[in-house]
Each structure stands twice: as C-alpha cells, then as structure tokens.
Chains A and B, each alone.
Chain A
Amino acid sequence: MVLNSNDILETIKMIQEENLDIRTITMGISLLDCIDSDIDKSCTKVYDKMMRLACNHVKTGEDIEKRYGIPIINKRLSVTPIAMLAAAAKGSPVKFAQTLQKVADETGVNYVGGYSALVHKGFSAGDRELIESIPEALSVTTKVCSSVNVGSTRAGINMNAVALMGKIIKQASEATAKDHCFGAAKIVVFCNAVEDNPFMAGAFHGVGEADCVINVGVSGPGVVRSAIAKMPDATIDEIADTIKKTAFKVTRMGQLVGTEASRMLGVPFGIVDLSLAPTPAVGDSVAHILEEIGLESCGAYGTTAALALLNDAVKKGGVMASSRVGGLSGAFIPVSEDAGMIDAVNRGSLCLEKLEAMTAVCSVGLDMFVVPGDTPAEILSAIIADEAAIGMVNSKTTAVRVIPAIGMKEGETLEFGGLFGSGPVMSLNKFSPAKFISRGGHIPAPLQSLKN
C-alpha cells in the first residue's frame, strides 16, 4: 500500500502542533486472589502480583512511543477496590495504600487507582474503614488515587455515604494543605462508576473484569479544535460530521496502541476510552472547542448544547474506530486542567451552576474545581448529592472532584502544576443544606419509565 504524504504530514501536525497524544495506558489488575485475613500477608501478595504483571508496563509504553512516534503521557495501574481486601483483613487499610505506592515507585507508573469503595446501596465490611482512612492514605502517599461510588441508577443514592464524603474530602484537603491541598485532587466521588475506566483519579479494576487487562485512554481536544477552525462557515451538522471523522482517527490510534501494548505484555486488551481529555497546555482545551464552534466564552448560553453535540459526535466517530469501547468515553471538563475553562472562570463567564448543567450532557462531572477552604463539609456533600442525582436520573456516570483550597478565598488561584494546572477559587451558593444532608438514609432508585 502506498502511503500518502498528506496523511503523513497531517499525522505529524496533529502530534506536533495540536497535542495529539495517548493520554494513558492503564493496566487493570485484579487483586481478588490477594485477599488474606492477615493484612501483612495480603499486602505481600498484592505487591508480588502487581510487580509480576506490571514490571514491564512502563518500558512497553516507552517502546510503543518510539515505535509509532506518539507521545504516551501516562502509564498507570488500576486495581480491585481495596475495600474488598480490607473487608477480610484486620488493621489499617493505609497499609494497602503504602503497598500501592511502593509498587508505583518501583514500576515507575504515574498513578495507581483503586483505593476505592463501592457503597451505592450500603456499607459492607471494610467500606467504612477504607473511606475513613482515605485522608491519611492520600497524605502519606503521592501516587495513589481514591474513588467512592455513592449512587447508581439501579440502586439510588446512599446519602450516608454522601454526607461522609463531604467530610472526607475536606479532611484530605486539610491533611495535604502544605502540598496545594493535593489530597482532594486524588479523590473522586462517583455515581454509576464504570469498571474499566483508565483515567485517574477514578480508575479501579471492577470485579466483572478479567484478571489483568490493558485499557487505553485517548485524547486530542487540540486536533478537534483545529479541524473546526478550518470551517468557519459550516453549519452545525457539518461540524458534527468533522468531529466524528477526527474522533475516528484519534481512536484508531488508541486502538492500535492498545492492541500493540496488549500483544507486547501478553495481557488481554480491554477497552479504548474515547475521551477528549484536556491539559493546561495551550491548544489542548475542550473549552476552546466550544468557543471555536461559536461561543464568545465557555459558559455562555449555548455551551450546554455545543457540548452535547461535541460529546455525541466524539462517541459516534470513536465507536466505529475501535473494536471495544468503554470507560467514561466523552468530553472531560476539568476546570483546572483546561486553559480555556480557567480563563472562562476568571473572566466571569463560567459559574458552578453552568458547569453542573454541562455535566448532564458530557462525559463525567464536576471535575477539578476549587472552592474556598472554609466551605462547610455539608455544602461539599450537597454538591455531591446534586451531581449524583444528575447521573442517577440520566443513567450516566457523574463524578465530583472538588478541592477545598485551605486558607484561600474566592478570587485567589490554587496552583497544582503539571497536568493538573491551576484552579481559580470559585464562588458558591452559601445557603445551608445542613439539615438535608444530616438526615442520612437513601434516595430511592428512580423510575425507568414515564420519562419526562
């Protein structure tokens, strides 16, 4: 087959100028066979199994980068929710977090996800201990990520867990106050969490998964934006079509990398997550795509509609390009990780309420946004409850990753650096939801018919 030099130059331009990359190759590892009633024995089994499977993970990623000339930004691991291991073992679950950190250090991966608990219907043994240990676990480790699923369309929302998570997030932020409150950036609270998500901080290896799999997350907001920029007079359906074609190309690259990684590591290929994941780099922003479609600033009226179009077109293009699609698959809108979103907040066009509306039509949820450090825990819980309700009713995944910036007030900026960017402290509605949150209990699962 003859290669077309335009195709070659287009690919190079996408990678070089438009920040096309593979965002992550995540190896999911089941730890169900590492359960032991003795926590130290269990940790040893976890360490041995993870090192055995993941020792070549980073090197394989680097080899693929060189082979295809595509940057692979993160190499990560995800594991079975640790609450399941903690259920059998007596002792502080923080030991598991330290074991995961040790594995991350020795294998060279960026993050390990799975310090998690699934409590959408109720707490079982180990769940509450694990959740209560999250602030400590995230302050003594740097590469461990945590997630808690508090609701689902089939089960409703566990309001006791919602109330607890508000406090846990605040404690995690306080425990890492000297370190830019980074603890809170490593916790995600989900509704309808997926079992094969390769993206952090919400990755964990679900119990329905195979023993070990490779999941790939692609990225490419810059590529989509620049494709739209070339068609200033196009109608909306032409734009949707262009996004589909671009998403197809990006996803094919993800499929290729995933297949290759799975072959080299001898591990089955899981899924490609068709996501537009922004970074703070100039030109790698989802907000800029929305602005390119025709909004003066992200957050203006029309943002939700434009995002719905974008999210749907990305999926339609991506689905055909990959044999197995999964994960979160859609556009991410993390505030601090997206230069366009940061600007939109700073210029006053994007408020939390609009962001919440956007989460109803896009991939995940309220992600990486910073609120004043003195925000009461019950307000954080109520934000989680609102977001979980959107996910529950719309049968989609939603999540909250909120960072209370300890010692900071509205208008200041919390700097994380690197891929996490910087977040302007956003203003909140200060009326109290304390009574609602303190009632506890459970929001029943919603009706699946009479949909209006």
Chain B
Amino acid sequence: MRAVVAVIGKDTVGILAKICTICAESNANVMDVTQTIMQDLFAMTMLIDISKCEAHYTELADKLTKAGEEMGLQIHVMHEDIFNAMHRI
C-alpha cells in the first residue's frame, strides 16, 4: 500500500525534514522523492509506503495537511489507488 504526498508552496528551510519526520513518526517509509524548485516555488511529490501504518493512515494525512498549513504550503496526501484508477485502464 502506497500513498502520494504532494507539496507545493514557497521554499523555506526544513520542508523535507519536517515531512519526513512526520512520516517516520507514523512508521511510513519514504520510497521515492521528486523535487523541483522553480525560482522560489517548491514542488515535491513523495511516494510513501503505508503498509505498516494502514490503521493510522487518515491521522497521518491529517498531520501532514496541518503541518502544511503551518508552513504555508499546500500538502495533498492521496492513496495511490486513485491515480491507478484514473490514469490506467
């Protein structure tokens, strides 16, 4: 079971650190990170393994969204099934 964390917003110090810490606290393993910085806009998509935190998955999603609000970033946490459903036949 995997989920996608997408982060968009103004670049500041410690974005990746903060998100990874929250993931680690919930026992979610970070599998892949793609990150680009265009001028000062930070855009990142991260793939995390949630098979060990399935039960707390919604809590993790809440925590990440809240952390995003605190840092002035938009964070979307979405289960991978939605992308497979929408973009694969």
Contact = CB atoms under 8 A, between A and B. Distances in A.
A67 B55 CA distance: 11
Contacts of A5: 34, 45
Interface centre among A7, A8, A253 (most CB of B within 10 A): A8
B57 interface: yes
Given A67-B57, A67-B79, A8 B84 contact: no
A17 to B, nearest CB: 11
B64 to A, nearest CB: 11
B62 interface: yes
A3 B88 CA distance: 10
Contacts of A68: 78-79, 81-82
A443 interface: no
Contacts of B73: none
Interface string A40-74: 00000000000000000000000100111110000
Contacts of A249: 86-87
A311 to B, nearest CB: 22
A9 B86 CA distance: 12
A68 B86 CA distance: 12
Contact of B85 (A9, A10, A253): A253
A9 B81 contact: no
B26 interface: no
A12 B81 contact: no
Interface in A295-351: none
A256 B82 contact: yes
A255 interface: yes
A107 B49 CA distance: 34
B61 interface: yes
B20 interface: no
Interface string B53-89: 0000110011000000000001011111111111110
Interface centre among B34, B74, B78, B85 (most CB of A within 10 A): B85
Given A12-B76, A67-B61, A7 B87 contact: yes
A70 B86 CA distance: 12
B15 interface: no
B77 A69 contact: yes
Given A3-B47, A4-B87, A249-B86, A11 B78 contact: yes
Contacts of B19: none
Contacts of A450: none
Contact of B86 (A1, A63, A252): A252
A66 B76 contact: no
A8 B85 contact: no
A11 B82 contact: yes
Nearest to B50: A67
Contacts of B4: 3, 8
B30 interface: no
B6 A12 contact: yes
A427 interface: no
Contacts of B57: 66-67
Given A12-B6, A66-B62, A256 B85 contact: yes
A16 B76 CA distance: 10
A330 to B, nearest CB: 21
Interface centre among B79, B82, B88 (most CB of A within 10 A): B82
A7 to B, nearest CB: 4
Contacts of A11: 78, 82-83, 86-87
A67 B86 contact: no
Nearest to A15: B76
A69 B76 CA distance: 7
A330 B83 CA distance: 24
Interface in A253-277: 253, 255-256
Given A11-B78, A68-B79, 7 more contacts: A1-B88, A4-B83, A7-B83, A63-B58, A68-B82, A70-B82, A256-B82
Interface of B: 4, 6, 34, 45, 47, 57-58, 61-62, 74, 76-88
Interface of A: 1, 3-5, 7-12, 15-16, 63, 66-70, 249, 252-253, 255-256
29 contacts: A4-B87, A7-B83, A8-B4, A8-B6, A9-B6, A9-B45, A10-B87, A11-B82, A11-B83, A11-B87, A12-B78, A16-B74, A63-B58, A66-B57, A66-B58, A66-B62, A67-B79, A68-B78, A68-B79, A69-B61, A69-B77, A69-B78, A69-B79, A249-B87, A252-B85, A253-B82, A253-B86, A255-B85, A256-B85
